[in-house]
Structure 1
Protein backbone atom coordinates (compact mmCIF):
# COMPACT_ATOMS: atom_id res chain seq x y z
CA UNK A 1 0.00 0.00 0.00
CA UNK A 2 1.16 3.50 -0.77
CA UNK A 3 1.83 5.65 2.29
CA UNK A 4 -0.73 8.40 2.65
CA UNK A 5 0.54 11.90 1.86
CA UNK A 6 0.59 14.15 4.90
CA UNK A 7 -2.15 16.74 4.89
CA UNK A 8 -2.03 20.28 6.15
CA UNK A 9 -3.46 20.47 9.66
CA UNK A 10 -6.67 22.49 9.93
CA UNK A 11 -6.29 26.11 10.97
CA UNK A 12 -7.95 25.39 14.33
CA UNK A 13 -5.06 23.06 15.21
CA UNK A 14 -2.49 25.65 14.08
CA UNK A 15 -4.18 28.28 16.20
CA UNK A 16 -4.14 25.97 19.23
CA UNK A 17 -0.42 25.24 18.74
CA UNK A 18 0.43 28.91 18.26
CA UNK A 19 -0.25 29.73 21.92
CA UNK A 20 2.66 27.49 22.98
CA UNK A 21 5.26 28.96 20.60
CA UNK A 22 7.83 31.67 21.21
CA UNK A 23 7.67 34.90 19.14
CA UNK A 24 10.73 33.88 17.09
CA UNK A 25 9.13 30.53 16.18
CA UNK A 26 5.83 32.22 15.37
CA UNK A 27 7.56 34.63 13.03
CA UNK A 28 9.26 31.76 11.20
CA UNK A 29 6.02 29.79 10.96
CA UNK A 30 4.27 32.79 9.41
CA UNK A 31 6.68 32.55 6.47
CA UNK A 32 5.78 28.95 5.51
CA UNK A 33 2.76 29.70 3.30
CA UNK A 34 -0.19 32.06 2.97
CA UNK A 35 -2.53 30.01 5.17
CA UNK A 36 0.07 29.76 7.94
CA UNK A 37 0.77 33.48 7.67
CA UNK A 38 -2.91 34.27 8.24
CA UNK A 39 -2.86 32.18 11.42
CA UNK A 40 0.55 32.96 12.87
CA UNK A 41 0.50 36.72 12.17
CA UNK A 42 -3.05 37.37 13.36
CA UNK A 43 -3.66 40.45 15.48
CA UNK A 44 -5.36 38.63 18.37
CA UNK A 45 -2.28 36.38 18.69
CA UNK A 46 0.39 39.09 18.54
CA UNK A 47 -1.39 41.82 20.47
CA UNK A 48 -0.86 40.24 23.95
CA UNK A 49 2.72 39.29 22.98
CA UNK A 50 3.47 42.84 21.91
CA UNK A 51 1.93 44.37 25.05
CA UNK A 52 3.72 41.92 27.35
CA UNK A 53 7.12 42.56 25.77
CA UNK A 54 6.74 46.31 25.08
CA UNK A 55 4.00 47.90 27.25
CA UNK A 56 4.55 51.30 25.63
CA UNK A 57 3.30 49.86 22.34
CA UNK A 58 -0.27 50.21 23.62
CA UNK A 59 -0.22 53.86 22.51
CA UNK A 60 0.54 52.80 18.93
CA UNK A 61 -1.77 49.79 18.77
CA UNK A 62 -4.83 52.00 19.16
CA UNK A 63 -3.88 53.77 15.92
CA UNK A 64 -4.54 50.60 13.93
CA UNK A 65 -0.95 49.40 13.46
CA UNK A 66 -0.49 45.66 13.10
CA UNK A 67 0.79 44.10 16.37
CA UNK A 68 2.85 41.65 14.27
CA UNK A 69 4.76 44.43 12.51
CA UNK A 70 4.91 46.61 15.62
CA UNK A 71 6.57 43.81 17.60
CA UNK A 72 9.17 43.40 14.83
CA UNK A 73 9.82 47.17 14.86
CA UNK A 74 10.38 47.27 18.63
CA UNK A 75 12.41 44.05 18.61
CA UNK A 76 14.72 45.39 15.88
CA UNK A 77 15.14 48.67 17.76
CA UNK A 78 16.09 46.79 20.94
CA UNK A 79 18.71 44.74 19.08
CA UNK A 80 20.29 47.84 17.58
CA UNK A 81 20.65 49.32 21.06
CA UNK A 82 23.07 46.60 22.07
CA UNK A 83 25.35 47.06 19.07
CA UNK A 84 28.56 48.57 20.38
CA UNK A 85 29.14 51.79 18.42
CA UNK A 86 32.58 53.06 17.55
CA UNK A 87 33.99 55.76 19.87
CA UNK A 88 32.90 59.30 19.10
CA UNK A 89 35.72 61.78 18.49
CA UNK A 90 33.81 64.49 16.63
CA UNK A 91 31.50 67.21 17.99
CA UNK A 92 29.28 69.88 16.44
CA UNK A 93 31.60 72.53 17.87
CA UNK A 94 34.23 71.39 15.36
CA UNK A 95 31.99 71.79 12.29
CA UNK A 96 30.59 74.36 9.89
CA UNK A 97 27.70 73.74 7.51
CA UNK A 98 28.22 75.43 4.15
CA UNK A 99 24.90 75.67 2.28
CA UNK A 100 24.21 77.08 -1.16
CA UNK A 101 20.94 77.47 -3.09
CA UNK A 102 20.98 78.16 -6.83
CA UNK A 103 18.30 79.24 -9.29
CA UNK A 104 19.71 78.13 -12.61
CA UNK A 105 23.24 79.57 -12.70
CA UNK A 106 22.46 82.30 -10.18
CA UNK A 107 23.55 81.84 -6.56
CA UNK A 108 20.62 82.81 -4.35
CA UNK A 109 22.05 81.88 -0.95
CA UNK A 110 25.54 81.05 0.30
CA UNK A 111 25.79 80.68 4.08
CA UNK A 112 28.32 79.22 6.52
CA UNK A 113 26.70 78.17 9.79
CA UNK A 114 28.51 76.84 12.89
CA UNK A 115 27.23 73.39 13.75
CA UNK A 116 26.37 74.25 17.36
CA UNK A 117 24.15 77.12 16.19
CA UNK A 118 22.23 75.09 13.63
CA UNK A 119 20.99 72.29 15.87
CA UNK A 120 17.84 72.58 17.96
CA UNK A 121 18.55 72.51 21.70
CA UNK A 122 15.70 70.05 22.25
CA UNK A 123 16.53 67.69 19.39
CA UNK A 124 18.77 64.62 19.62
CA UNK A 125 18.53 63.75 15.92
CA UNK A 126 20.90 64.71 13.11
CA UNK A 127 18.70 67.44 11.64
CA UNK A 128 19.22 71.16 11.53
CA UNK A 129 17.52 74.35 10.45
CA UNK A 130 18.98 77.57 9.03
CA UNK A 131 16.85 80.73 8.97
CA UNK A 132 17.09 82.65 5.69
CA UNK A 133 14.50 85.38 6.28
CA UNK A 134 17.20 87.95 7.08
CA UNK A 135 18.73 87.39 3.61
CA UNK A 136 15.50 88.63 1.97
CA UNK A 137 15.97 86.42 -1.09
CA UNK A 138 13.20 86.57 -3.70
CA UNK A 139 12.56 83.75 -6.16
CA UNK A 140 12.10 85.04 -9.69
CA UNK A 141 10.87 82.54 -12.25
CA UNK A 142 9.40 80.03 -9.79
CA UNK A 143 11.02 77.13 -7.93
CA UNK A 144 11.46 74.69 -10.80
CA UNK A 145 15.13 75.46 -11.42
CA UNK A 146 16.39 75.28 -7.83
CA UNK A 147 19.48 73.20 -7.10
CA UNK A 148 21.43 73.03 -3.84
CA UNK A 149 24.76 72.18 -2.30
CA UNK A 150 25.71 71.20 1.26
CA UNK A 151 29.25 70.80 2.55
CA UNK A 152 30.37 69.88 6.07
CA UNK A 153 33.65 71.65 6.86
CA UNK A 154 35.97 71.19 9.83
CA UNK A 155 36.87 74.39 11.64
CA UNK A 156 40.37 75.34 10.62
CA UNK A 157 39.58 73.74 7.23
CA UNK A 158 41.25 70.50 8.32
CA UNK A 159 38.72 68.46 6.38
CA UNK A 160 35.50 68.64 4.35
CA UNK A 161 32.80 66.26 3.18
CA UNK A 162 30.22 66.88 0.45
CA UNK A 163 26.81 65.88 1.80
CA UNK A 164 25.03 67.09 -1.32
CA UNK A 165 26.43 68.12 -4.70
CA UNK A 166 24.78 70.57 -7.06
CA UNK A 167 23.01 67.89 -9.07
CA UNK A 168 19.32 67.47 -9.85
CA UNK A 169 16.34 69.68 -9.18
CA UNK A 170 14.20 69.50 -6.08
CA UNK A 171 10.75 67.95 -5.83
CA UNK A 172 7.52 68.95 -4.20
CA UNK A 173 5.14 66.62 -2.40
CA UNK A 174 1.42 66.67 -3.11
CA UNK A 175 1.64 69.86 -5.13
CA UNK A 176 2.83 71.84 -2.10
CA UNK A 177 5.10 74.55 -3.55
CA UNK A 178 6.13 75.85 -0.11
CA UNK A 179 8.67 73.04 0.42
CA UNK A 180 11.18 71.72 -2.10
CA UNK A 181 12.91 68.45 -1.17
CA UNK A 182 16.40 67.31 -2.18
CA UNK A 183 17.89 63.90 -1.39
CA UNK A 184 21.25 62.36 -2.21
CA UNK A 185 22.52 58.86 -1.40
CA UNK A 186 25.80 58.75 0.49
CA UNK A 187 28.54 56.11 0.69
CA UNK A 188 28.38 53.80 3.70
CA UNK A 189 31.74 52.67 5.15
CA UNK A 190 31.86 49.34 6.95
CA UNK A 191 32.05 51.01 10.36
CA UNK A 192 28.66 52.67 9.82
CA UNK A 193 26.56 49.67 8.73
CA UNK A 194 24.83 49.68 12.11
CA UNK A 195 23.26 53.08 11.36
CA UNK A 196 21.09 51.64 8.63
CA UNK A 197 17.69 50.00 8.71
CA UNK A 198 17.69 46.54 7.14
CA UNK A 199 18.15 46.89 3.40
CA UNK A 200 18.39 50.68 3.38
CA UNK A 201 21.22 53.13 2.91
CA UNK A 202 22.08 56.59 4.18
CA UNK A 203 20.87 59.77 2.51
CA UNK A 204 21.47 63.47 2.96
CA UNK A 205 18.28 65.53 2.93
CA UNK A 206 17.71 69.22 2.35
CA UNK A 207 14.34 70.98 2.44
CA UNK A 208 14.06 74.52 1.10
CA UNK A 209 11.04 76.30 2.57
CA UNK A 210 9.41 79.07 0.56
CA UNK A 211 7.03 81.75 1.81
CA UNK A 212 5.38 84.86 0.47
CA UNK A 213 6.84 88.30 1.12
CA UNK A 214 5.04 91.60 1.67
CA UNK A 215 5.29 92.34 -2.06
CA UNK A 216 3.57 89.04 -2.94
CA UNK A 217 6.76 87.46 -4.28
CA UNK A 218 8.03 84.05 -3.25
CA UNK A 219 10.83 84.33 -0.71
CA UNK A 220 13.31 81.82 0.72
CA UNK A 221 12.56 81.43 4.43
CA UNK A 222 14.44 78.43 5.77
CA UNK A 223 16.64 75.48 4.89
CA UNK A 224 16.31 72.18 6.72
CA UNK A 225 19.22 69.72 6.75
CA UNK A 226 19.29 66.10 7.86
CA UNK A 227 20.92 62.69 7.62
CA UNK A 228 18.46 59.84 7.12
CA UNK A 229 18.39 56.06 7.13
CA UNK A 230 15.22 54.65 5.62
CA UNK A 231 12.36 56.92 6.65
CA UNK A 232 13.90 58.24 9.86
CA UNK A 233 16.59 60.69 10.87
CA UNK A 234 19.66 59.13 12.45
CA UNK A 235 20.62 60.09 16.00
CA UNK A 236 22.92 63.08 16.38
CA UNK A 237 25.78 60.98 17.75
CA UNK A 238 25.39 58.42 14.95
CA UNK A 239 25.53 61.20 12.37
CA UNK A 240 28.74 62.50 13.90
CA UNK A 241 30.21 58.97 13.89
CA UNK A 242 29.43 58.78 10.19
CA UNK A 243 31.10 62.12 9.44
CA UNK A 244 34.21 61.44 11.50
CA UNK A 245 35.10 58.57 9.18
CA UNK A 246 35.53 61.10 6.35
CA UNK A 247 36.73 64.12 8.33
CA UNK A 248 39.22 62.71 10.85
CA UNK A 249 42.37 60.81 10.06
CA UNK A 250 43.45 57.64 11.85
CA UNK A 251 45.76 59.41 14.30
CA UNK A 252 43.02 61.76 15.54
CA UNK A 253 40.71 58.82 16.17
CA UNK A 254 43.42 56.69 17.72
CA UNK A 255 42.71 53.82 15.35
CA UNK A 256 44.54 51.84 12.75
CA UNK A 257 43.53 51.54 9.14
CA UNK A 258 39.92 52.35 8.41
Structure 2
Protein backbone atom coordinates (compact mmCIF):
# COMPACT_ATOMS: atom_id res chain seq x y z
CA UNK A 1 0.00 0.00 0.00
CA UNK A 2 1.35 3.43 -0.96
CA UNK A 3 2.11 5.73 1.96
CA UNK A 4 -0.55 8.40 2.61
CA UNK A 5 0.37 11.99 1.73
CA UNK A 6 -2.35 13.53 3.90
CA UNK A 7 -1.19 15.67 6.83
CA UNK A 8 -1.84 14.29 10.28
CA UNK A 9 -4.72 15.96 12.15
CA UNK A 10 -2.22 17.30 14.68
CA UNK A 11 -0.21 19.06 11.94
CA UNK A 12 -3.35 20.62 10.40
CA UNK A 13 -4.43 21.96 13.76
CA UNK A 14 -0.97 23.40 14.38
CA UNK A 15 -1.05 25.32 11.08
CA UNK A 16 -4.20 27.25 12.13
CA UNK A 17 -3.61 30.23 14.42
CA UNK A 18 -6.30 30.49 17.11
CA UNK A 19 -8.48 33.64 16.69
CA UNK A 20 -7.58 34.70 20.23
CA UNK A 21 -3.92 34.99 19.17
CA UNK A 22 -4.88 36.90 16.03
CA UNK A 23 -6.93 39.29 18.15
CA UNK A 24 -4.02 39.95 20.52
CA UNK A 25 -1.69 40.62 17.57
CA UNK A 26 -4.26 42.76 15.75
CA UNK A 27 -4.65 45.10 18.73
CA UNK A 28 -1.01 46.13 18.23
CA UNK A 29 -1.15 46.77 14.47
CA UNK A 30 -1.38 50.13 12.74
CA UNK A 31 -4.27 50.72 10.29
CA UNK A 32 -2.21 49.98 7.16
CA UNK A 33 -0.82 46.68 8.51
CA UNK A 34 -4.25 45.71 9.81
CA UNK A 35 -5.76 46.24 6.37
CA UNK A 36 -2.99 44.20 4.71
CA UNK A 37 -3.40 41.38 7.23
CA UNK A 38 -7.11 41.14 6.41
CA UNK A 39 -6.15 40.06 2.88
CA UNK A 40 -4.34 36.90 4.02
CA UNK A 41 -7.41 34.66 4.20
CA UNK A 42 -11.13 34.65 4.96
CA UNK A 43 -10.55 33.89 8.63
CA UNK A 44 -7.95 36.69 8.89
CA UNK A 45 -10.28 39.06 7.05
CA UNK A 46 -13.05 38.35 9.57
CA UNK A 47 -10.69 38.75 12.54
CA UNK A 48 -8.93 41.91 11.25
CA UNK A 49 -12.19 43.65 10.26
CA UNK A 50 -13.76 43.42 13.72
CA UNK A 51 -15.51 46.59 14.92
CA UNK A 52 -13.79 46.49 18.29
CA UNK A 53 -10.39 46.78 16.50
CA UNK A 54 -11.36 49.65 14.19
CA UNK A 55 -13.51 51.62 16.64
CA UNK A 56 -10.49 52.94 18.53
CA UNK A 57 -8.63 53.75 15.29
CA UNK A 58 -11.64 55.56 13.84
CA UNK A 59 -12.42 57.61 16.96
CA UNK A 60 -8.73 58.52 17.34
CA UNK A 61 -8.01 59.57 13.74
CA UNK A 62 -11.48 60.74 12.62
CA UNK A 63 -13.58 61.52 15.72
CA UNK A 64 -15.98 63.69 13.71
CA UNK A 65 -17.02 60.65 11.64
CA UNK A 66 -17.93 58.38 14.54
CA UNK A 67 -21.46 59.80 14.82
CA UNK A 68 -22.10 58.81 11.19
CA UNK A 69 -22.05 55.13 12.14
CA UNK A 70 -25.79 55.03 12.75
CA UNK A 71 -26.73 57.22 9.78
CA UNK A 72 -27.32 54.02 7.80
CA UNK A 73 -29.07 50.76 8.61
CA UNK A 74 -27.46 48.42 9.49
CA UNK A 75 -24.81 50.60 11.20
CA UNK A 76 -21.71 51.27 9.12
CA UNK A 77 -18.67 49.22 10.17
CA UNK A 78 -15.90 51.27 11.76
CA UNK A 79 -13.46 49.96 9.17
CA UNK A 80 -15.65 51.50 6.43
CA UNK A 81 -15.81 54.81 8.30
CA UNK A 82 -12.03 54.81 8.71
CA UNK A 83 -11.63 54.23 4.96
CA UNK A 84 -13.98 57.10 4.16
CA UNK A 85 -12.08 59.41 6.48
CA UNK A 86 -8.73 58.44 4.99
CA UNK A 87 -9.96 58.99 1.42
CA UNK A 88 -11.43 62.37 2.34
CA UNK A 89 -8.17 63.46 4.00
CA UNK A 90 -6.10 62.49 0.95
CA UNK A 91 -8.43 64.40 -1.35
CA UNK A 92 -8.22 67.53 0.81
CA UNK A 93 -4.42 67.32 0.80
CA UNK A 94 -4.32 66.99 -2.97
CA UNK A 95 -3.19 70.27 -4.59
CA UNK A 96 -5.96 72.01 -6.56
CA UNK A 97 -5.93 71.65 -10.32
CA UNK A 98 -4.61 74.47 -12.44
CA UNK A 99 -7.41 76.65 -13.85
CA UNK A 100 -8.42 75.75 -17.39
CA UNK A 101 -8.59 79.38 -18.51
CA UNK A 102 -5.56 81.70 -18.26
CA UNK A 103 -5.76 85.31 -17.15
CA UNK A 104 -4.51 86.35 -20.60
CA UNK A 105 -7.72 85.06 -22.21
CA UNK A 106 -9.94 87.46 -20.25
CA UNK A 107 -11.17 90.98 -20.87
CA UNK A 108 -12.19 93.26 -17.98
CA UNK A 109 -14.88 95.81 -18.91
CA UNK A 110 -15.79 98.39 -16.25
CA UNK A 111 -18.50 101.01 -16.73
CA UNK A 112 -19.36 103.91 -14.41
CA UNK A 113 -22.30 106.25 -14.85
CA UNK A 114 -24.63 108.66 -13.04
CA UNK A 115 -27.37 111.16 -13.80
CA UNK A 116 -24.98 114.09 -14.34
CA UNK A 117 -22.22 112.58 -16.50
CA UNK A 118 -22.35 110.29 -19.54
CA UNK A 119 -21.20 106.67 -18.97
CA UNK A 120 -17.47 105.98 -19.18
CA UNK A 121 -16.03 102.56 -19.91
CA UNK A 122 -12.64 101.05 -19.18
CA UNK A 123 -11.57 97.99 -21.19
CA UNK A 124 -8.53 96.13 -19.89
CA UNK A 125 -7.21 92.92 -21.50
CA UNK A 126 -5.83 90.18 -19.28
CA UNK A 127 -2.55 90.37 -21.17
CA UNK A 128 -1.95 93.74 -19.49
CA UNK A 129 -2.44 92.30 -15.99
CA UNK A 130 0.14 90.60 -13.75
CA UNK A 131 -0.14 86.84 -14.40
CA UNK A 132 1.81 85.55 -11.40
CA UNK A 133 -0.43 82.76 -9.98
CA UNK A 134 0.88 83.58 -6.48
CA UNK A 135 -0.39 87.16 -6.67
CA UNK A 136 -3.85 88.30 -5.56
CA UNK A 137 -6.90 88.60 -7.77
CA UNK A 138 -6.86 92.38 -7.36
CA UNK A 139 -6.02 94.85 -10.11
CA UNK A 140 -5.51 98.64 -10.30
CA UNK A 141 -6.25 100.69 -13.42
CA UNK A 142 -4.91 104.23 -13.74
CA UNK A 143 -7.37 106.40 -15.68
CA UNK A 144 -5.77 109.83 -15.21
CA UNK A 145 -4.83 110.01 -18.89
CA UNK A 146 -8.27 109.00 -20.17
CA UNK A 147 -10.03 112.10 -21.44
CA UNK A 148 -13.56 110.71 -20.88
CA UNK A 149 -12.77 109.86 -17.27
CA UNK A 150 -11.50 113.41 -16.70
CA UNK A 151 -14.93 114.71 -17.73
CA UNK A 152 -16.79 112.27 -15.48
CA UNK A 153 -17.93 113.89 -12.24
CA UNK A 154 -18.55 111.51 -9.32
CA UNK A 155 -21.81 111.86 -7.43
CA UNK A 156 -23.21 109.97 -4.45
CA UNK A 157 -25.61 108.28 -6.87
CA UNK A 158 -23.02 106.49 -8.99
CA UNK A 159 -23.65 103.17 -10.72
CA UNK A 160 -20.86 100.72 -11.50
CA UNK A 161 -20.70 97.57 -13.64
CA UNK A 162 -17.86 95.06 -13.96
CA UNK A 163 -18.05 92.37 -16.64
CA UNK A 164 -15.46 89.69 -17.37
CA UNK A 165 -15.44 88.43 -20.98
CA UNK A 166 -13.77 85.29 -22.33
CA UNK A 167 -11.73 85.73 -25.52
CA UNK A 168 -13.79 86.19 -28.65
CA UNK A 169 -16.88 86.80 -26.49
CA UNK A 170 -17.29 83.04 -25.99
CA UNK A 171 -18.62 83.80 -22.53
CA UNK A 172 -19.40 86.73 -20.24
CA UNK A 173 -19.93 86.95 -16.49
CA UNK A 174 -21.18 90.00 -14.58
CA UNK A 175 -19.06 90.30 -11.47
CA UNK A 176 -20.83 93.43 -10.28
CA UNK A 177 -23.81 95.59 -11.21
CA UNK A 178 -24.33 98.05 -8.37
CA UNK A 179 -27.11 100.57 -8.84
CA UNK A 180 -27.51 103.15 -6.11
CA UNK A 181 -25.27 104.83 -3.62
CA UNK A 182 -21.70 103.73 -3.13
CA UNK A 183 -19.99 103.90 0.23
CA UNK A 184 -17.77 106.99 0.00
CA UNK A 185 -15.07 107.17 2.65
CA UNK A 186 -14.21 110.63 4.02
CA UNK A 187 -15.79 112.20 0.97
CA UNK A 188 -13.12 110.77 -1.33
CA UNK A 189 -12.93 107.10 -2.32
CA UNK A 190 -16.02 105.13 -3.35
CA UNK A 191 -16.44 101.46 -2.39
CA UNK A 192 -18.83 99.01 -4.01
CA UNK A 193 -19.24 95.29 -3.30
CA UNK A 194 -21.47 92.40 -4.36
CA UNK A 195 -21.67 88.87 -2.98
CA UNK A 196 -20.92 86.40 -5.76
CA UNK A 197 -23.14 83.38 -6.56
CA UNK A 198 -21.97 79.82 -6.00
CA UNK A 199 -19.83 78.40 -8.79
CA UNK A 200 -21.51 75.65 -10.80
CA UNK A 201 -23.80 75.45 -13.76
CA UNK A 202 -25.38 78.40 -15.54
CA UNK A 203 -28.34 78.43 -13.13
CA UNK A 204 -26.14 79.05 -10.07
CA UNK A 205 -26.94 82.74 -10.06
CA UNK A 206 -30.67 82.06 -9.81
CA UNK A 207 -30.64 79.19 -7.32
CA UNK A 208 -29.74 81.37 -4.34
CA UNK A 209 -26.39 79.74 -3.56
CA UNK A 210 -23.43 81.82 -2.46
CA UNK A 211 -19.73 81.31 -3.08
CA UNK A 212 -18.25 82.78 0.10
CA UNK A 213 -16.63 85.47 -2.07
CA UNK A 214 -17.34 89.13 -2.77
CA UNK A 215 -16.60 91.21 -5.87
CA UNK A 216 -15.06 94.49 -4.76
CA UNK A 217 -14.57 97.81 -6.60
CA UNK A 218 -12.92 101.00 -5.40
CA UNK A 219 -13.01 104.35 -7.14
CA UNK A 220 -10.02 106.42 -6.03
CA UNK A 221 -10.89 110.12 -6.33
CA UNK A 222 -9.09 113.40 -6.62
CA UNK A 223 -10.26 117.00 -6.52
CA UNK A 224 -10.35 118.77 -9.87
CA UNK A 225 -11.35 122.34 -8.98
CA UNK A 226 -14.80 121.97 -7.43
CA UNK A 227 -15.33 118.57 -9.01
CA UNK A 228 -14.39 115.09 -7.89
CA UNK A 229 -13.05 112.87 -10.65
CA UNK A 230 -11.76 109.29 -10.74
CA UNK A 231 -8.02 108.79 -11.03
CA UNK A 232 -7.83 105.03 -10.38
CA UNK A 233 -10.18 102.06 -10.48
CA UNK A 234 -9.44 99.03 -8.32
CA UNK A 235 -11.23 95.68 -8.66
CA UNK A 236 -10.78 92.35 -6.92
CA UNK A 237 -12.38 89.30 -5.31
CA UNK A 238 -12.42 88.92 -1.52
CA UNK A 239 -12.94 85.80 0.58
CA UNK A 240 -15.73 86.31 3.15
CA UNK A 241 -14.00 83.87 5.52
CA UNK A 242 -10.61 85.61 5.72
CA UNK A 243 -11.53 89.03 4.26
CA UNK A 244 -8.43 88.80 2.11
CA UNK A 245 -8.21 88.91 -1.65
CA UNK A 246 -8.16 85.43 -3.20
CA UNK A 247 -5.25 84.29 -5.35
CA UNK A 248 -5.24 84.62 -9.14
CA UNK A 249 -5.67 80.87 -9.65
CA UNK A 250 -8.59 80.75 -7.19
CA UNK A 251 -10.27 83.61 -9.02
CA UNK A 252 -9.76 81.93 -12.40
CA UNK A 253 -11.06 78.58 -11.12
CA UNK A 254 -14.22 80.38 -9.98
CA UNK A 255 -14.70 82.28 -13.25
CA UNK A 256 -14.29 79.22 -15.48
CA UNK A 257 -17.58 77.82 -14.13
CA UNK A 258 -19.43 80.75 -15.72
CA UNK A 259 -17.28 81.56 -18.74
CA UNK A 260 -16.65 78.16 -20.34
CA UNK A 261 -19.29 77.13 -22.89
CA UNK A 262 -21.84 74.65 -21.54
CA UNK A 263 -24.72 72.66 -22.97
CA UNK A 264 -28.09 74.35 -22.55
TM-score band w.r.t. shorter chain = 0.5 to 0.7
Summarize the Cα distance change of 1:110–1:244 in structure 2 as closer, same or farther, 3 Å threshold: same
TM-score by length of 2: 0.54
SS in 2 for 1:239: helix
- The residue number in structure 1 matching 2:212 is 201
Report the counterpart of residue 246 of structure 2 in structure 1.
234
Match of 1:189 among 192, 199, 204: 199
Q: Call closer, same or farther: CA 1:155–1:138 in 2, change over 3 Å.
A: same
Aligned to 2:175: 163
Query: How many residues are matched?
Result: 166
With over 3 angstroms needed to count, the CA separation of the structure-2 counterparts of 1:105 and 1:216, relative to structure 1, is closer
* Structure 2 residue aligned with 1:222: 232
Tell me the alpha carbon deviations over residues 137-176 of structure 1, each in whole angstroms, 9 at most, x when there is no partner. Answer: 2454x53011100000112111100001142321023xx2
Measure how far apart 1:177 and its partner are. 2.1
Q: Distance in 2 between matches of 1:123 and 1:110?
A: 29
Contact 2:134-2:247 within 8 A present in 1 as well:
no
Structure 1 length normalisation: TM-score? Answer: 0.56
1:82 aligns to 2:89 (yes or no): no
TM-superposition CA deviations, 1:232-251 (whole Å, max 9, x none) = 1000000000001111136x
Unmatched runs of 5 consecutive residues or more in structure 1:
1-24, 26-78, 192-198, 251-256
The SS at the match of 2:258 is: helix
Return the alpha-carbon distance in structure 2 between the equivalents of residues 244 and 163 of structure 1.
13
Correspondence for 2:112 among 61, 80, 101:
101
1:119, 1:129 within 8 Å by CA — same for their partners in 2?
no
Q: Is the 8 A contact 1:138 1:220 kept in 2?
A: no
Tell me if structure 2 keeps the 8 A contact 1:118–1:130: no
Q: Secondary structure at the match of 2:169?
A: coil
Unaligned runs of at least 5 residues, structure 2: 1-62, 64-89, 202-209
1:110 and 2:121 correspond: yes
RMSD value, Cα: 3.2
In our comparison, the structure showing a higher alpha carbon Rg is: 2
Asked if residue 130 in structure 1 is aligned to residue 137 in structure 2, the reply is no
Whole-Å separation in 2 of the counterparts to 1:200 and 1:89? 19
**Structure 2 partner of 1:179:** 189
